[in-house]
Structure 1
């Protein structure tokens, strides 16, 4: 299995660029992409083909995923990561 860290970064970069995401439903990818992309079994060739055709033919779907992706990627900013990390460290240090 390819390195999942690489794939979630690629998904985030695609969403940040306004590109609709088609990704596997494995590891952390569903958590990262959420409802801002299409998730399929990465070993199901028919599902991959069908989803690609949907993305090519359905401009409404592409538009919706583009907007959702741009919104979703904001959850993964360095500022938010730093704030959450600090909150956890503060919580732990008070125990």
Structure 2
């Protein structure tokens, strides 16, 4: 990713519907002109998980965004922090 945390802006919208496990949608602006939208936050088996968007083509799921393990973990932590902050408001 190559950006500092202060340049990354995370926006989380909570989902109020209790019928399914989806509990939030996030978008992340990592630099001017680059925003990742449609990041889903699920609660299942007692823990939160973040699912990044993918492209489905001919029954294959292709990642829209390719991140290294460390970058993905850092981005996931930022999204979950923003989710918890929004939930506590």
Same fold (TM over 0.5): no
TM-score by length of 2: 0.34
Q: Decide which structure has the larger Cα Rg and report it.
A: 1
- The structure with the largest strand share of the pair is 2
Give TM-score, length-normalised by structure 1: 0.33
Between structures 1 and 2, the one with greater helix share: 1
